[in-house]
Structure 1
């Protein structure tokens, strides 16, 4: 199968990489490859970019086996990477056991935390200076909504994040792709995505946010673009100042009443 990337996909990839300074000459980039639709497309797209870029850089892929099942087979992913001339690694991390020992508390946070830790440590130990994740635009918007609703914070993940303790930079080159677009990408690279082994797949807070957005869009098609716009820094933002501490409030209270006498 001839390897190519339609120009409208390639330009979207390049826009994110250029706008957020994701890749420089000489970079060694480790891709977090789960075998799902998003990370397989990211691996394929970066392999095409590697061929076409004027800046030489290296890529490799790491698949984590979280031991949710006892029949994980990395061979299809390994073959996919070999066909792209992308070095492939796999590593077992007993995330399932950690969640069980934690009585099932915060399983999504636990899984993400230990996946990131494993990938970051592998990257540092093997000389990579960047880690690439396949988060797309919907992921960013859903994370923004989840932060607002479930933790009272206005934030989402950044396109590029420097981890000073590890001396690693995390990049997310698929930020300008919508999830529905990525569902079509197996037609481009020919790899059948591997279903997620997560026992909570479809039952997470992220899924709640996804369903909420879809439901709201039925009555207002502008819901998604409005949420996306709210993620951006803007001179028109009007937010209350940060909440005062008890000591700050006490001082202002005294100042007010002293001036009032």
Structure 2
């Protein structure tokens, strides 16, 4: 994983798309220099992730691909939609975007918020109501974590909606910290090195799962969402459970970042720079077949290279001092 600061994504975003009206979503956006820098940083990082992981393969029929952009009503998914719409408006994302909210019938869920948001901002969308809440609470004891079953049910429904809408991909708002948290969840509790990739092919092989915000920090996303005054809907289903393992990991990562600012960025980059020969996975590296090369052994044994003069002089001075 890079830091999102390279190659094509560095192309100047100034002026792109500005000959036409901006999306309704941005008409009340702050005009401060600080916000403009934040907005462009998120655009640059998302564009870099899209490029790095080839999220835009060319279609054989020449038509633009369709993406189902999944909105839960949280800061991450609102930011995801805004960034993708911004890139599209600037002519940098030739994709048809369809916003989608899956109403999971949670008690107290404000079902009117997202439809009103979509209508106000002229956003193409689909709303689907499926009572996964009753299934999750029936199958999982109250003291257990709902997230795993809830996620599986939600993902299956989103796949179905994407197929019905003719989409090639579902697009999720996971960011850098989500990816790191998942990595440490797997490391500490799953006994494996794995996380959430920016691009994934589903088990059926017909849909991509894309995460364009993979390079974006949660702090930037939170600042952007506050500045844009998105109508945030909290997840009361899982958020009401105390002691979740993921929350413990989140606190750990936040403490590390406070102690050494920039550490999370370094850790995220490490996920894209693995060395199988320096790990323990025999399925990724042929340790059994590892042996010295005959030519290298012969060359080393027959080498008559003279010792380094500087080294000899340094050793001489050390012994003289003694």
2:254 pairs with 201, 214, 225, which one? 214
Q: Indicate how the Cα distance of structure 1 residues 145 and 199 shifts in structure 2: closer, same or farther if over 3 A, else same.
A: closer
| SS of residue matched to 2:105 | coil
Distance 1:223 1:126, change over 3 A: same
User: Displacement, 1:19?
Assistant: 1.2
The CA deviation at 1:242 is 3.7
Alpha-carbon distance between aligned partners in 1 of 2:72 and 2:248, rounded to the nearest angstrom: 22
Distance 1:142 1:23 in 2: 27
Aligned length: 242
Give the structure-1-normalised TM-score: 0.82
Aligned to 1:138: 177
Could you tell me how far 1:43 is from its partner in structure 2? 1.0
Q: Which residue of 2 aligns with 1:96?
A: 133
Q: Give 1:230's match in structure 2, choosing from 256, 270, 276.
A: 270
Residue aligning to 2:209: 170
2:229 is equivalent to residue 190 of structure 1:
yes
Per-residue CA deviation, residues 198-223 of structure 1 (Å, 9 max, x unaligned), is 24446322111101223345555565
In structure 2, distance between residues paired with 1:188 and 1:145: 31
Quote the residue 2:123 is aligned against: 86
Per-residue CA deviations over 1:59-91 (Å, capped at 9, x if unaligned) read 11111122221x323322122223443222222
RMSD across aligned positions (CA): 2.5
Instruction: Please identify, of 139-148 and 213-222, the stretch whose mean Cα deviation from structure 2 is larger.
Output: 213-222
Question: In the alignment, what sits opposite 1:118?
Answer: 157
Structure 1: distance between partners of 2:132 and 2:256? 35
Structure 1 gaps of 5+ residues are 244-261
Tell me which residue corresponds to 2:54. 21
Cα distance, 1:102 vs structure 2: 1.4
Q: Which residue is 1:2 aligned to?
A: 27
Are positions 1:152 and 2:188 aligned together? no
- Work out which of the two has the higher radius of gyration on C-alpha atoms and give 1 or 2: 2
Could you tell me how far 1:29 is from its partner in structure 2?
0.5
Matched with 2:96 is 58
Matched position secondary structure for 2:102: strand
Contact 2:55 2:199 in 1 (8 A): yes
The one of 108, 111, 127 equivalent to 2:147 is 108
Q: Which residue of 2 aligns with 1:252?
A: none
Contact persistence 2:77–2:173 (CA under 8 A)? yes
Alpha-carbon contact 1:30-1:131 (below 8 Å) kept: yes
Q: 1:84 to 1:24 in 2, by over 3 A?
A: farther
**Matching residue of 1:248:** none
Asked if the contact 1:68/1:198 (under 8 Å) is kept, the reply is: yes
